[in-house]
């Protein structure tokens, strides 16, 4: 299906990403579903990944799949298929535990275990990381040092918003080179936000794609395209599965997880039809970004300072 021809030559290639986890592994139900009991729930992640792969093929786009190590270990065939169909594989941790709940040693061990499962499944090197629940926060910036030491080239975990579960409100809104305390560096790709009345608002991914009107998401895309910046779009396989089992949990968690599941697929289709998307690896190879001088500068400067 062809993209919109309007100014197509001048439009940036946006970044498409998938956080590969099942419906029972999300943070919304972490307080009611024990990881030790994950095997008791019927898995739907393979079927939902196939649906996404078919959708991406129809629109001739490639994406980065941030795979949970638990999924890769149990379903290596779908991980291989994602890779064989030309998409990028990246790491989404093994146990989907918040980074800011771990020690550096625990984080390193979890990340290594996840990468080992992904790399054994597909025989490719993993270069990118995304933290569960965007949980690299001001208190866990040490995780970026660990990722750089482990050979990662980029991260997409720092959400520059204020939220009850995650976020660093003063972080940069656009991709930048992060200088670690240990002297190493890696690229940081923040998820999409828009500046309204002096504050950053989330957009174009997960619950924000489902809950906010599509007109809002389209407006955010236009803001990024006006300045020629790439927008990071993200989805989860369970978000195109409105028939998934309903789980017990707090009212707020149910609202965040289940609202407008029946609309995700259509909205995603419309975005894929209109805009051009590539995986992180393609953007990393084709673009140059300015480095920041220190670890604190990477998260301490405002949007106005860095455009």
pLDDT tens profile 232-247: 999 999 999 999 999 9
Could you tell me the two tokens for 11? 């439009």
CA angle 193, 267, 278 (to 5 degrees): 60
Which residues are CB-contacts of 47 (< 8 A; sequence separation ≥ 6)? 241
Check residue 134 and report its DSSP letter. G
Q: Which CATH class is domain 14-306?
A: alpha beta
Report how far apart, in Å, the C-alpha atoms of 90 and of each of 30, 60, 293 are.
23, 20, 27
Question: β-strands 88-91, 277-278: how paired?
Answer: unpaired
Q: What residue ranges of the chain have pLDDT lower than 50?
A: 1-2, 4-9, 289-307
At 270, is the secondary structure helix, strand, or coil? helix
Query: CB–CB of 25/93 below 8 Å?
Result: no
Q: What is the pLDDT of residue 258?
A: 94
Q: What is the pLDDT of residue 3?
A: 53
Q: What is the pLDDT of residue 5?
A: 40
Q: Which of 21, 16, 178, 185 is nearest to 93 (CA)?
A: 21
Q: What is the pLDDT of residue 303?
A: 41
At 211, is the secondary structure helix, strand, or coil? helix
Task: Determine the Cα–Cα distance for residues 31 and 34; give it in Å rounded to an integer.
Answer: 7
Task: Determine the Cα–Cα distance for residues 300 and 171; give it in Å rounded to an integer.
Answer: 6
Report how far apart, in Å, the C-alpha atoms of 167 and of each of 128, 134, 236, 293 are.
19, 7, 19, 22
Question: β-strands 64-67, 14-20: how paired?
Answer: parallel
Residue 80, class by beta-carbon neighbours within 10 Å (0-12 exposed, 13-18 middle, 19+ buried)? middle
Question: β-strands 277-278, 14-20: how paired?
Answer: parallel
Task: Determine the Cα–Cα distance for residues 208 and 231; give it in Å rounded to an integer.
Answer: 14
Alpha helices (H) along the chain: 45-58, 69-74, 76-84, 104-122, 142-149, 206-211, 214-226, 251-258, 261-274, 280-286, 295-300, 303-306
């Amino acid at each position: 299906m062809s993209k919109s021809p309007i100014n197509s030559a001048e439009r940036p290639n946006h970044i498409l990403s998938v956080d590969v986890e099942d419906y029972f592994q999300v943070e919304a139900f972490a307080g009611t579903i024990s990881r030790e009991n994950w095997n008791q729930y019927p898995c739907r992640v393979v079927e939902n990944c196939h649906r996404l792969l078919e959708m991406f093929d129809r629109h001739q786009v490639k994406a980065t799949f941030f795979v949970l190590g638990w999924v890769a270990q149990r379903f290596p065939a779908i991980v291989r298929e994602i890779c064989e169909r030309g998409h990028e594989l990246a790491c989404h941790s093994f146990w989907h535990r918040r980074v800011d709940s771990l020690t550096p040693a625990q984080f390193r061990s979890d990340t290594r275990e996840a990468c080992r499962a992904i790399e054994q499944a597909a025989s490719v090197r993993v270069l990118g990381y995304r933290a569960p629940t965007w949980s690299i926060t001001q208190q866990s910036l040490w995780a970026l040092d660990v990722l750089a030491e482990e050979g990662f080239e980029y991260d997409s975990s720092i959400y520059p918003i204020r939220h009850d579960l995650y976020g660093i409100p003063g972080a940069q809104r656009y991709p930048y080179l992060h200088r670690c305390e240990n002297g190493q560096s890696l690229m940081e790709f923040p998820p999409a936000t828009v500046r309204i009345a002096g504050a950053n608002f989330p957009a174009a991914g997960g619950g924000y794609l489902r809950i906010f009107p599509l007109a809002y998401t389209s407006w955010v895309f236009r803001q990024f395209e006006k300045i020629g910046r790439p927008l990071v779009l993200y989805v989860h396989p369970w978000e195109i599965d409105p028939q998934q089992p309903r789980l017990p949990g707090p009212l707020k968690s149910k609202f965040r997880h289940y609202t407008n599941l029946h609309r995700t697929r259509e909205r995603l289709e419309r975005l894929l039809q209109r805009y051009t998307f590539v995986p992180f690896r393609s953007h990393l190879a084709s673009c140059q970004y300015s480095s920041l001088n220190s670890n604190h500068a990477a998260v301490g400067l405002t949007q106005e300072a860095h455009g």
